[in-house]
Amino acid sequence: MSLLTLREFGVARHQCDVLRNVELTIDSGEMVGIIGPNGAGKTTLMRGALGLLAHRGESSLAAMTPRERGRAVAWMPQAREIAWPVDVETLVMLGRSPHMGLGRRPTKTDHDAVARALDRMDLTGLRSRTATQLSGGEQARVLIARALAQDTPLLMADEPIAGLDPAHQIATMQEFASLASEGRSVVVSLHDLGLAARHCTRLIVVDKGRVVADGTPVDVLTQELIRDTFGISAFVQTTPEGLVVQPMGVVP
């Protein structure tokens, strides 16, 4: 089942095309990585698809009512904002608000979803701590848990693993992959090509406002593409452990 469809999709800002001619479909069970250099349009692609930016063409998510969209997709923006010193559990519970009626008493389903999300992000021990007093990486995990608690078929996250320690980077990517294996889909932007190669089932490469490649990591992450798009050389090899990509140096 298609969770997101973009047709002839583009975003313009100040009469200047930031993103153009994007055609893509995200089906269920996919773990999609969006990669590309800084300023390529990764965030614009995601925010535009969500209907948070004025856009041209069609986006199945942007066409929904705000309430429907809140149940169809969870979005974790790049800016990790926690405005008030609320406790972790309260913050994660915010992810349940698209599911709650106006009476807004959390039901058992809501509490269960929050407990599951906290458990997935290894936060159960921190549940009653004040979110603003946690470290940056812990806050990032709390915000991922918030998005997980929303319990939507599609999860979109903008650089969710930036600033996490290696163990939590890998654990987070594995959690996303396990969501995908449960039949949900995850779309994440990231800069770590090694993690992208290892954990994603599909990679979409964005460069200068266009999608320049879209496919499995093995097909997409060739040395030519890495050189042309990122301007770096890389060690790329398929091993028994899977695809290994290690950036080596900047190509002059």
Q: In angstroms, what is the minimal distance from the CB of 79 to another protein?
A: 6
* Cβ distance to another protein smaller for residue 26 or 74: 74
Does 94 sit near another protein (CB under 8 A)? yes
* Cβ distance to another protein smaller for residue 94 or 218: 94
Does 97 sit near another protein (CB under 8 A)? yes
* Cβ distance to another protein smaller for residue 24 or 52: 52
Helix, strand counts (H, E) of the chain? 9, 11
Does 241 sit near another protein (CB under 8 A)? no
Chain-centroid distance of CA 167 in Å reads 18
- Which of 124, 77, 115 minimizes the C-alpha distance to 96? 115
Q: In angstroms, what is the minimal distance from the CB of 159 to another protein?
A: 13
Does 104 sit near another protein (CB under 8 A)? yes
Phi, psi for residue 83 in degrees, rounded to 5: -75, -30
Span near another protein by CB under 8 A; candidates 15-23, 31-39, 84-92, 187-195: 84-92
Q: In angstroms, what is the minimal distance from the CB of 12 to another protein?
A: 16
Phi, psi for residue 12 in degrees, rounded to 5: -120, 140
Give per-residue burial for 89-109: e unless 16+ CB within 10 Å, then b. bebbbebbebbeeeeeeeeee
Does 67 sit near another protein (CB under 8 A)? yes
SS3 label, residue 215? strand
Does 146 sit near another protein (CB under 8 A)? yes
Does 76 sit near another protein (CB under 8 A)? yes
When binding is defined by CB under 8 A, the residue of 60, 150, 172, 229 that contacts another protein is 150
Does 48 sit near another protein (CB under 8 A)? no
Does 73 sit near another protein (CB under 8 A)? yes
* Cβ distance to another protein smaller for residue 101 or 252: 101
Contacts 24+ apart (CB under 8 A), 172-180: 172/121, 172/141, 172/144, 173/198, 173/199, 174/199, 175/120, 175/121, 175/148, 176/31, 177/31, 177/201, 179/31, 179/148, 179/155, 180/29, 180/30, 180/31
When binding is defined by CB under 8 A, the residue of 14, 16, 85, 105 that contacts another protein is 85
- Pick left, alpha or beta for residue 46 (phi over 0 → left; psi -120 to 50 → alpha; otherwise beta): alpha
Residues lying near another protein in the complex (CB under 8 A): 47, 50, 52, 66-71, 73-77, 79, 81-87, 90-91, 94-95, 97-98, 102, 104, 132, 143, 146, 150
